[in-house]
C-alpha cells in the first residue's frame, strides 16, 4: 500500500506516526517550520523583534533550527564553541566545517560568533577534563558546564534577547525520563521550553524544536539537503542519555506517540502547577564574584571559574 501525502495526495516520504500524518517532501519541509512557529507562539518563546542567538554545533538539530528561524523571518545569528575534541577524528574541526558549509550553502553573510575554548582559557575540553576530577576521565560533565557558561555569557554580553538551542522532543523526553527515574525534583521544576532571564547575568533560553521528534529533524535535514556531522561525539558512546533514548524508542516503536504523550503530559501537568517548589525550597543562587553569572556555590567563585583557578594552582 502506498501512503499518500495528507495535503496533496502525492506519494508520502515521511510518515509521522505520532500525528498519523504522512507527507510528501515539499509539504513536510513546510510542516516542520509551521510546527516550530506554533511552539514559539504557544510557549511565548520570542517574537520577530527579538534578537535571537542560535547555539550551533554542526549537528542536524541546531543547523536545521537556524535554517527554520531564518525562513520564518527571525533575526537569528549563530554562535558556536570550538571545544578542541579530536580523538583521531578531528571531531570539533569537522563540526565547524559543517557550520561554515551550511552558512555558505543556505544563508551567506550570516553572523557566526565563535569561542575557541583553548584560545580563551588555555585548555581544550579534553585537557580540562584530564586535569580536573570532574567526570572520571570522561569530559561530558566539564563540556556541559563550559558550554552552558559560555553560551550564557555570549548571549548576555552581546545583548541578545534570547539564546536558543536545538533540543528536540527526544532530548527533552530522555531528560524527563532520567529526572523521573532519579526523582530529580529540582531538575523537573526547571525543565521547560523557556527559561526566563530572571536573575542578573542570566540570558533567556528557549527550545523551539521541543515538540519535534529527533527522527523528523533528521528527515528535515536530509530532505532540505543540510550536510551535518553524523558521527556521535567520541566521548558520548555509551552515554546514559543514549540508553534512555533507546528505551523510549523501544516504547515508541510499539506504541506510536508514546514519547509525545509522555513529554506533553509533563508540560500540561507543569502548566497546572504540579511541578512548582514552595518559595522557601527554591535553590539559593548568588552572583559569582568573578564572572557575574548566577551560581549555586556557597561562597566565592562559581563552578566554571573554579575550573580555571585550579589550573593556575597546578601551574604555580
Partner 1 sequence: MIKVIYRNKQWKVPGRRTVREVIEAVGLNPAMVLAVRNGKLVLDSEMLGDDGELKLIAVISGG
Rounded (5°) CA angle 152-51-302: 10
Beta bridge partners of 227: none
99/203 with CB nearer partner 1? 99
Task: Establish if 67 lies at the interface with partner 1 (CB under 8 A).
Answer: no
Q: Return the residue of 25, 140, 189, 195 that touches partner 1, per CB under 8 A.
A: 25
253 binds partner 1 (CB under 8 A): yes
Which listed residue (95, 124, 132, 152) binds partner 1 by CB under 8 A? 95
Interface stretch with partner 1, choices 39-47, 129-137, 175-183, 249-257 (CB under 8 A): 249-257
In sign, the C-alpha dihedral spanning 11, 22, 164, 294 is: negative
Bridge-based pairing state of the strands 194-195 and 14-16 = unpaired
Piece of the chain touching partner 1 by CB under 8 A; list 30-38, 69-77, 198-206, 224-232: 224-232
Question: In 3D, which of 95, 146, 99 has the Cα closest to residue 121?
Answer: 146
Name residue 115's beta-bridge partners. 81
Candidates 61, 67, 77, 123: give the one binding partner 1 (CB under 8 A).
61
**Of the candidates 211, 231, 228, 204, which has an alpha carbon nearest to the alpha carbon of residue 64?**
228
Q: Which is nearer to partner 1, 149 or 245 (CB)?
A: 245
Pairwise CA distance, residues 218 & 84, whole Å: 25
Beta-bridged to residue 112, according to DSSP, are 78
Nearer to partner 1, 29 or 285 (CB): 29
Please tell me the distance from the alpha carbon of residue 66 to that of residue 102, in angstroms, as a whole number: 10
Q: According to CB under 8 A, which residues from 182 to 221 bind partner 1?
A: 214-215, 217-219
Query: Of the two residues 157 and 250, which places its CB atom closer to partner 1 in the complex?
Result: 250
Q: How many CB atoms lie within 10 A of CB 248?
A: 20
249 lies in the site for partner 1, by CB under 8 A: yes
Which stretch, 144-152, 198-206, 241-249, 293-301, contacts partner 1 (CB under 8 A)?
Answer: 241-249
Spatial CB neighbours of 116, under 8 Å, sequence gap ≥ 6: 81, 82, 84
Rounded to the nearest whole angstrom, what is the least distance from the CB of residue 162 to partner 1 in the complex? 20
If you search the block for the grid coordinates 536558543, which residue do you land on? 164
Binding of partner 1 at residue 15 (CB under 8 A)?
yes
Q: Of 192, 92, 196, which is closest to residue 147 (Cα–Cα)? A: 92
Nearer to partner 1, 3 or 185 (CB): 3
* By CB under 8 A, residue 223 contacts partner 1: yes
Closest by Cα among 118, 20, 113, 23 to 66: 113
Q: Which three cell numbers stand for residue 138?
A: 570522561
Site string for partner 1, 102-141 (x = CB under 8 A): ----------------------------------------
> Does 72 help bind partner 1 (rule: CB under 8 A)?
no
State the residues that interact with partner 1 by CB under 8 A: 1-3, 12-15, 22, 25, 57-62, 91, 95, 166, 170, 214-215, 217-219, 222-223, 228-233, 236, 242, 245-246, 249-250, 252-253
Amino acid at each position: 500500500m502506498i501512503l499518500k501525502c495528507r495535503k496533496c495526495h502525492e506519494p508520502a516520504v515521511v510518515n509521522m506516526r505520532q500525528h498519523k500524518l504522512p507527507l510528501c517532501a515539499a509539504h513536510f519541509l513546510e510542516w516542520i517550520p509551521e510546527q516550530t512557529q506554533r511552539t514559539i507562539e504557544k510557549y511565548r518563546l520570542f517574537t520577530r523583534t527579538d534578537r535571537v542567538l542560535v547555539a550551533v554545533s554542526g549537528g542536524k538539530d541546531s543547523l536545521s533550527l537556524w535554517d527554520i528561524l531564518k525562513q520564518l523571518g527571525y533575526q537569528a545569528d549563530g554562535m558556536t564553541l570550538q571545544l578542541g575534541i579530536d580523538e583521531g577524528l578531528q571531531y570539533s574541526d569537522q563540526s565547524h566545517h559543517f557550520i561554515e558549509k551550511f552558512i555558505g550553502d543556505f544563508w551567506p553573510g550570516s553572523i557566526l560568533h565563535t569561542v575557541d575554548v583553548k584560545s580563551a582559557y588555555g585548555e581544550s575540553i579534553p585537557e580540562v577534563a584530564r586535569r580536573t576530577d570532574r567526570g572520571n576521565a570522561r569530559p561530558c560533565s566539564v563540556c556541559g558546564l563550559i558550554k552552558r557558561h559560555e553560551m550564557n555569557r555570549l548571549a548576555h554580553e552581546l545583548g541578545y534577547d534570547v539564546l536558543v538551542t536545538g533540543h528536540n522532543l527526544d532530548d527533552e523526553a530522555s531528560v524527563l525520563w532520567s529526572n523521573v527515574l532519579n526523582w530529580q525534583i529540582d531538575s523537573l521544576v526547571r525543565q521547560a521550553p523557556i527559561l526566563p532571564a530572571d536573575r542578573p547575568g542570566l540570558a533567556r533560553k528557549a527550545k523551539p524544536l521541543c515538540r519535534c521528534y529527533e527522527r523528523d529533524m533528521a528527515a528535515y535535514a536530509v530532505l532540505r539537503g543540510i550536510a551535518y556531522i553524523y558521527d556521535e561525539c567520541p566521548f558520548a558512546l555509551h552515554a546514559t542519555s543514549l540508553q534512555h533514548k533507546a528505551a523510549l524508542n523501544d516504547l515508541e516503536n510499539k506504541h506510536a506517540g508514546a514519547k509525545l504523550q509522555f513529554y506533553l503530559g509533563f508540560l500540561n501537568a507543569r502548566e497546572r502547577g504540579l511541578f512548582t517548589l514552595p518559595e522557601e525550597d527554591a535553590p539559593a543562587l548568588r552572583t559569582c564574584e568573578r564572572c557575574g553569572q548566577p551560581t549555586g556555590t556557597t561562597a566565592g567563585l562559581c563552578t566554571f571559574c573554579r575550573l580555571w583557578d585550579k589550573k593556575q594552582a597546578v601551574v604555580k
